[in-house]
Amino acid sequence: MQPEYSSLFDLALEACEHSYAPYSKFRVGAALLCEDGSVITGVNVENRSYGLTICAERNAIAAAITAGKKKFKALVIATPDADYPVSPCGACRQVISEFMPPSAPVVFGNSQNSYMTSSVGELLPHDALHELSGELGD
Ligand code: THU
């Protein structure tokens, strides 16, 4: 993995320790690099009413917003229980696009040796209503 994402990946992987995934047994950790250089992590939190599950990426973004951070430089996602890199789900792609520009890197992998580097724009092409985002314009 590129050195600039390597420590973010380690933080995302460490966060998996706190993942709450008793139903899928599929742990996910996300590390969000904020514009000020700080890193905020998130994990997936499942629920016995399955549809209420919240993905790691969305929890990281919510935690960052809660901490007063709204601009992000990169998102790195660790999925150690997969045997291939798992990209963000469709709902997360939409939420990510609210706070990160199309050029922002999104890196996802099951290990430091098995990962993909993409971008918000690649993951959500033809982004509808992009200009309505309250955060990207300022
Ligand atoms: N999950 C995430 O947290 N992020 C992803 O990018 C893919 C899916 C979670 C949701 C659920 O807890 C588990 O992984 C299996 O889908």
CATH of 3-133 among 3.30.70.3270, 3.40.140.10, 3.40.1280.10, 3.60.21.10: 3.40.140.10
Binding site for Zn(2+): what residues are annotated?
55, 89, 92
Which pLDDT does position 137 carry in this prediction? 59
Which pLDDT does position 41 carry in this prediction? 98
Which phi and psi angles does 95 have, rounded to 5°? -70, -40
DSSP-derived letter for residue 54 is B
Which of 24, 28, 50, 120 has most ligand 1 atoms within 8 Å of its beta carbon, as the pocket-test mutant?
28
Which pLDDT does position 132 carry in this prediction? 84
Query: Catalytic annotation on 4?
Result: no
Residues of the chain with pLDDT under 50: none
Domain ranges in the chain are: 3-133
Binding site for substrate: what residues are annotated?
44-50
C-alpha torsion sign, points 53, 56, 59, 61: negative
Q: Which atom of ligand 1 is nearest to the CA of 77?
A: 6
Which pLDDT does position 88 carry in this prediction? 98
